[in-house]
Chain A
Amino acid sequence: GAVVSQHPSRVICKSGTSVKIECRSLDFQATTMFWYRQFPKKSLMLMATSNEGSKATYEQGVEKDKFLINHASLTLSTLTVTSAHPEDSSFYICSARVGSEAFFGQGTRLTVV
C-alpha cells in the first residue's frame, strides 16, 4: 500500500522556538494532506487541510499564524509550529488519501519545555 513518511518522530524544543514537521508521500502523489492533533485520551482532531499549490484550509479555532502549513510539491507537506509554547505539546500526525483509502504518517510527539 501507499506509504506516508513523517519526520521527526519525536522532538523537544524550547519555548519560543519554531519546529518543522515534514510529511512525505513516498510512492504516490498527494494533492491533499491532512494534519491532525491528538490530545491525551482524546480523538484525533483535524487542524488543517493542506492543498498542493494553494493555501491550507484551517479548522475553526486553529491559529493560521501559529501553525504554518506549506504544501509546495505533490509529495511534501510541512507543518511549522511557530513560537512554540508548552501548550503546543502534543502528538501531531499527517494523513493522505488515495481514493477511499487513508494512509497515515508515523506521527510526531512534540514536547515544548
Chain B
Amino acid sequence: KNEVEQSPQNLTAQEGEFITINCSYSVGISALHWLQQHPGGGIVSLFMLSSGKKKHGRLIATINIQEKHSSLHITASHPRDSAVYICAVSIMNYGGSQGNLIFGKGTKLSVKP
C-alpha cells in the first residue's frame, strides 16, 4: 500500500465547475504539500500545510491531521488549471533522508472550455 494515496487519478471538468482532489496518507507527517505539474514537467508548490486551511486565489487546501486526509479545491475552474496535481508529505522524524518528501501519484485534471 502506498503511503500517500490520491483520488481521483484522472478528472475531467467543465469550465466553471468546483473541483476537489483528495489525498490520504498513512504515516505521521510534519507537513503536507500540494504541487502542480504542467505538461512540460515543471513543478510549482501551491501550498504547504500542517493544520487547518489555506486559500490562494481560487485554490483552497485543507488538512485534517486526525483523519490523515487533505483536500485541494479549485473554485470556478478554468482550462489553464489543467495540470497534474500532486500531494506530497514530509515524514515526521524520518530517519533516512531528512527533508525528503513522499509523493502521491498525482491527479490529472483536464478542464474543458
Contact = CB atoms under 8 A, between A and B. Distances in A.
The judgment on whether A and B are partners is yes
Interface of A: 1, 9, 32, 34, 38, 41-46, 49, 57, 59, 91, 93, 95, 97, 100-107, 109
A46 B100 contact: yes
Contacts of B43: 93, 104, 107
Given A34-B100, A46-B100, A104-B35, A41 B45 contact: no
Interface centre among A41, A101, A102 (most CB of B within 10 A): A102
A105 B41 CA distance: 10
Nearest to B44: A104
A104 B97 contact: no
Contacts, number: 67
A100 B105 contact: no
A44 B106 CA distance: 9
B46 to A, nearest CB: 11
A49 B31 contact: no
Given A102-B101, A106-B42, 14 more contacts: A34-B99, A34-B101, A44-B88, A46-B97, A49-B100, A57-B97, A95-B101, A100-B50, A102-B35, A102-B48, A102-B88, A104-B35, A104-B42, A104-B44
B85 interface: no
Interface of B: 2, 4, 30-31, 33, 35, 40-45, 48, 50, 86, 88, 90, 96-101, 103-106
Nearest to B108: A41
Contact of A100 (B4, B30, B35, B42): B30
B18 to A, nearest CB: 26
B42 A49 contact: no
Nearest to B2: A43
B109 to A, nearest CB: 15
Given A42-B105, A100-B31, A32 B45 contact: no
A100 B97 contact: no
